[in-house]
Amino acid sequence: MHRPRGIPAIVILASGPAGTQLWCLRGGEPAARTTLELPIAPLPTATVPHLRLRATPSGSLWLRLPFGPRVPAARLGHIDEQLCLVPPVPGAGRIALHSARAQPGDTVAVLDDRRLWVLDGPAWRAVELPAYVSARQASVGPDGVWWVAGARRAGRVGRSDTVATICRLEPGSVAFRSATPRLGPLAAVAVARRRGLDALHDVDAEDAPVVAVADGGAEPVSFVYARTAAGRWVAGRVGQLAARIVRPAQGRVSVVAADGTILDVAAGGRLRGHPPAGLHRLLRCVAGVDPDARFLVRGADALGDTVVLAVGAYRLTGPRLVWTANAVVRSRDAGATWSILAATAPAAGEPELPDAAILRPG
């Protein structure tokens, strides 16, 4: 599966009863699709939401899949090269797949057993996390600083006994120090009322500004925290859950909401975007989608004004979410208009489409 020079290819992850595949759309065109079978047994349905693709600036494609109990990722230098599994993470037990993340520079980070494991050479190295941190995600910046987001136990903050926390590790240091977001008194009270200070579940430090995300407790909202150049944290509220942080270009960062709304993080932490009405109208044309279907973004990537989303239409059967249709859609104008690249019907035995990525030129 060769990648055309100068034209970004789009790769779709497909996982179903028959196994897991990569669908490569050369030049981003559905008619030019080729398939790569992955050497992994069919995955349990509960595992599929944690699968991820990550296209790095070097041109590599990283796959977050459970290739073994402690082998959470693999790399393709190019889409037509042999899959290269990472070495097993030292230790015992199964890795929590959601804690593994490919970083710029083709580094991989895993949070496990109160350690941050980093693969930036031939072998994993470990850094002890502070005892007070329950870590959820890690990210490294261009300056080599590692940021780890999560929560710590504290005196009650509103209706919670945990508080959101971030710690950072400077290059050459062996100990993390606190860098927890601190808001002004009025903003802190407003956010705490909606449980937006309970815990952080994501952080992205790959460029300025550093961005972290927290959900609002039982309320379906998220809060986005951005760190200004002066080191001050500002907060913006998403009127629903945030699905993914994307960086379309240097100096730009956006948050993709669960319904497909793309919100740019502007100066001062303000979130700017527009409702995805056109996206929802298009998705209702997919086979198997009910007129009153609900939609949920499962994966996202962006490069310049091109955005790809992996979206699912679902129904609730008691407490269980059932995917009636999955689709991967593309916008070439930053979300103003959309087209469908692939669609499946998981309820009919077809594979789920949990993620998609735009390959970088490398």
Q: What's the pLDDT at 1? A: 41
- Residue 208 pLDDT more than 80? yes
Number of continuous H segments (helices) and E segments (strands) in the chain: 2, 28
pLDDT > 90? residue 130: yes
Please name the residue that has the structure tokens 């490569």.
Answer: 24
**Per the omega criterion (within 30 degrees of 0), is the bond before 185 cis?**
no
Helices (H), 168-276: 185-193
CB 299 within 8 A of CB 244: yes
Tell me which residue of 100, 46, 50 sits closest to 72, measured CA to CA: 100
- Give the bridge partners for 237, in sequence order: 223
343 forms bridges with which residues in the sheet?
327
**pLDDT per position as a tens digit, 28-54:** 899 889 999 999 999 999 999 999 999
Q: Degrees (nearest 5) of the Cα angle 260, 198, 160?
A: 130
Dist. CA 321–CA 317, nearest whole Å: 6
Distance CA 276, CA 261 (A): 5
Residue 143 CB burial class (10 angstroms; 0-12, 13-18, ≥19) = exposed
Q: Whose CA is closest to 346, among 315, 329, 316, 322? A: 322
Q: What is the DSSP letter of 99?
A: G
> How far is residue 23's CA from residue 311's CA, in Å, rounded to a whole number?
16
- Count Cα neighbours of 176 within 13 Å in the Cβ-side half-sphere: 24
Alpha-carbon distances, residue 254 vs 11, 237, 338 (angstroms): 21, 13, 18
Neighbours of 68 (CB within 10 A): 14
DSSP3 helix / strand / coil % (the chain, rounded to 5): 10, 45, 45
Other CB atoms within a 10 A radius of the CB of residue 6 amount to 7
Query: What is the token pair recorded at 214?
Result: 């927290």
Contacts of 81 (CB under 8 A, 6+ apart): none
User: Chain centroid to CA 245: how far?
Assistant: 6
- The pLDDT tens digits for 214-238 are 988 777 889 899 998 888 888 888 8
Q: How confident is the model at residue 3 (pLDDT cuts 50, 70, 90)?
A: very low
d(CA 343, CA 334): 21
HSE, CB side, 13 Å, CA atoms: give it for residue 258: 14
Global pTM value: 0.92
Residue pLDDT, tens place only, 296-354: 999 999 999 999 999 999 988 888 888 999 999 999 999 999 999 999 999 899 999 99
Contact (CB, 8 A) for 197 and 164: yes
What the block records as the tokens of 344 is: 């499946």
Q: Provide the pLDDT for residue 289.
A: 80
- When the pLDDT of each residue in the chain is averaged and rounded to a whole number, the result is 89
SS3 49: helix
